[in-house]
Amino acid sequence: MAELYKRLVEYENSDYYPFHMPGHKRNPESAEGILAGAYGIDLTEIDGFDNLHQAEGILKREQKRAAALYGAEKTYFLVNGSTCGILSAVSAVCGRGGRVLMARNCHKSVYHGAYLQELKITYLYPELWGKCKAAGEVKPESVERALKQLPDVEAVIITSPTYEGVVSDVKKIADIAHKYGKPLIVDEAHGGHFGFQKDYPENSIKLGADLVIHSLHKTLPSMTQTALLHVSGHLVDRGKLERFLRIFQTSSPSYVLMASMESCLDILEREGTERLARLKYIRDRMLEKVRENHFIRIEEKEGTDPCKVIIYAEKGTLAGQDLYQILKEKYHLQMEMAAGRYTLAILSMMDTQEGIERLEKALLEMDQWVKATDISKEKDGWIPPVIDGRNETVMSIFEAYESGQESVELREGCGRIAAEFINLYPPGIPLAAPGERLNEEIIGELLSYERMGIQIQGIERGCIRVIKDAQNAKAMKTAFSEIKNRS
Ligand SMILES: Cc1ncc(COP(=O)(O)O)c(C=O)c1O
């Protein structure tokens, strides 16, 4: 039995009476007995249970074990998700008001980190990938080009794998970043299972990244909110990183979550390779059968993450949302998400053969159904979101958030500066970020998504948030520059 969990259970069964937090006091009457098991081991940092923010005992040992498993110099347990690891990583390597080179398809936590540190952002635009036109890899050449032109960049940040499982050439990107003396942060939130079996991509810390973040809860047997932050190399100041972890992580880390991380590491260490190989085998068998389909297909590409299954309909006969709804309502299969053209299933080493076979059967049956109906005629109306650097950045996210804002009708937003993110979710890549000018093309695209009934974050009852007026925005920008020059 895992050491931390064992100690928690021993403590639960001891006669120690809790005159300390948490307030449920491990009393079975708390929550009316529901979740009694979890409440019983939900302790705080009492004697003998170490302190996450200054680990010297069991938590230090567990974090060391995680570092060894992933090949990192140091690893930190995160109980506030990858989000707090990303915020800490960005803050540790970028000085206030500095410049960051980041992929446009980064998760919102990277944007929030950029906001908090008042960063200037230069974007790396990922290639569009596959028939579904999802955001794909960031090319090493684009990183090299940007670093050559922008000596003030303080760090490079990419997301690999993407939500859809596409990986970038992290090794090459790390080599380039290091040639220019810059640290590379890889948001590998979806790749906690990487590097344990040869059919899956290698993990980014082993490929040379300086800071790597894994959401254990996304693809591994661990509870929601659990994640890891790994650090290696000489470009990251550990003291600064730990300071930011103390800022962004709760001061009351949950021992239930940490016991779950420990048990996840146990499973990974003991049987991760074998379980991942078995999963790949079952997935490949499903792919083989679905390959015979005429309409309902699974996107395939060498080198992508086998845990992601992208299901789409040939010729756009069914939109992502339709596929998602049919799988949910007719087959009781709950997908992770639906995007314009596809729906996405996440597999993990804890999937059962029976579960994957249910998906396979549904996809074969749906194909027969599409074939037998009128919808098999071509009708591809989906326009993939454009992520190509067409937006003019007028001010930083920080400056935009600190400026006066107002709401205007979407069609009146042309020429105005966005005051909030506007994105399709998923995938959540901003069509406009705060501080960017909304041109005719973007407004036209947003209007067409609205007409298609696609939900857009950042539009409420037909209105968007923009900087109050051009005069005000200009005045704010001048004021900010003056303050910056003075400091
Ligand atoms: C690419 C990516 N990075 C980071 C996160 C944040 O992870 P967490 O939910 O563990 O905070 C997510 C969440 O969906 C994500 O998709």
- The pLDDT tens digits for 394-423 are 999 999 999 999 999 999 999 999 999 998
Extract the tokens encoding 134. Answer: 């999802």
Which whole number is the average pLDDT over 326-349? Answer: 95
Helix axis angle, 255-290 to 58-70, nearest 10°: 20
pLDDT attached to residue 376: 57
Taking only the tens place, the pLDDT of each residue in 339-356 is: 888 999 999 999 999 999
The model's pLDDT over 56-115, given as tens digits with 9 standing for 90+, comes to: 999 999 999 999 999 999 999 999 999 999 999 999 999 999 999 999 999 999 999 999
Degrees, nearest 5: CA angle 122-125-127: 165
Residue 48 tokens read as: 């003998």
pLDDT in tens, 225-284: 999 999 999 999 999 999 999 999 999 999 999 999 999 999 999 999 999 999 999 999
What pLDDT shows up at residue 434? 97
For ligand 1, the distance from its centroid to the CA atom of residue 265, given in whole angstroms, is 20
pLDDT of residue 387: 74
279 contacts 306 by C-beta, under 8 angstroms: yes
Q: Which residues of 6-27 are buried (b: 16+ CB within 10 A; e: fewer)?
A: ebbeebeeeeeeeeeeeebebe
* 334 CA → ligand 1 middle, Å: 19
Q: Over range 9-16, report the average pLDDT.
A: 94
Type of residue numbered 162: T
Instruction: Give the pocket of ligand 1 (CB within 6 Å).
Output: 81-83, 107, 109, 159, 163, 187, 189-190, 215, 227
Give the least confident one: 140-144, 204-208, 371-375, 436-440. 371-375
Distance 161 CA to ligand 1 centre (A): 11
Report percent pLDDT > 70 for the chain: 93
Mutate to test the pocket of ligand 1, among 83, 204, 217 (most ligand atoms within 8 A of CB): 83
Mean pLDDT for all residues in the chain: 92
Distances (CA, A) of 364 to 156, 304, 327, 334, 407: 43, 23, 12, 17, 47
